[in-house]
Amino acid sequence: MKQVAVILSGSGVFDGAELHEAVLTLLAIEQEGASYQCFAPNVNQLHVVNHLTGEVSEGETRNVLVESARIARGDIKPVSECDVSAFDTLILPGGFGAAKNLCTFAVDGENCTFNEDVLTVCKAFAQAKKPAAYACIAPALAAKVYGNKTKMTIGSDVETAGGLNALGATHVECPVDEVVVDNDAKLVTTPAYMLAQSISEAHASISKMVKTVLAMK
C-alpha cells in the first residue's frame, strides 16, 4: 500500500486549505487503495478571514496546524516531523492558505517567501525523485521547489501564471478536469478551484490528479 504525505495549510478557502479540495484529496487517496498522513506547519496564519463576509477579522489569530487538525480529525503532525523516507508520494491541496501560510505568493507574487519546514519537505521529495502533486494555487510552491522550467498549471489567470514562470517554472494552461504532468520531475498539477465552478468539477480535477500521481513509479 502506498503511503502519502498530505500537507495542509489551515481550514477554509480564503485563509487556509480549501476544504473541498482537502477532503476530496483524502477520499481519492483511499479510493485508490493508498493511505495518508496529514501534516501542517506549526505557525500562525497570515490572517483570519470571516468566511461569511469575506473580510479580515482584525485582532484574531489562528494556528495553521490547529486549524488543519479540523480537516484531519485530529490525526495530524507538524510538517517538521515528516520523514520523507516513510512515504511514497506527496500531495498538497490548494486554498489561499497554500499561498498565504505555506508561502506568501498570494501577497508578494514572484517575490514571495516560503515556510522553511514546508520547503524542506517538498524539496526532499523532489530530490528523492518521489512523485508529488500540487492542486489549485499550491503549484506556486512547486515552482520554487522544482524550477528548471518544470511544466505545471495554476489555472488560466495571466498574472498568476506569470508569477509561476518568474519563479522558474513553465506554466501550461489546463482544463479543470485534466492534469499537467512533468515526467522528468515526477510532478502532477491540476487547476481545481482555480477554474472549478462546482464541487463536482473540483472532484474531477482532484481525483484525476490523485489517480495520476499514485500511478507513477
CATH number at residue 206: 3.40.50.880
Cα 212–chain centre separation = 16
0.95 surpassed by pTM: yes
Per-residue pLDDT tens digits for 53-91: 999 999 999 999 999 999 999 999 999 999 999 999 999
Average pLDDT of 178-199? 98
pLDDT digits 0-9 by tens, 119-160: 999 999 999 999 999 999 999 999 999 999 999 999 998 999
Q: What total of structural domains would you count in the chain? A: 1
Catalytic residue among 38, 82, 112, 136: 136
| Residue among 118, 30, 130 nearest 90 (CA) | 130
For residues 118 and 18, what is the distance between their CA atoms, to the nearest angstrom? 18
Domain, as residue range, for 116: 3-215
Give the C-alpha separation, 144 to 134, whole Å: 12
Query: Distance (Å, rounded) from C-alpha 147 to C-alpha 76?
Result: 29
- What is the bridge-based pairing of β-strands 180-182 and 170-171? unpaired
Q: Which three cell numbers stand for residue 178?
A: 485534466
Is 136 among the catalytic positions?
Answer: yes
pLDDT of residue 212: 98
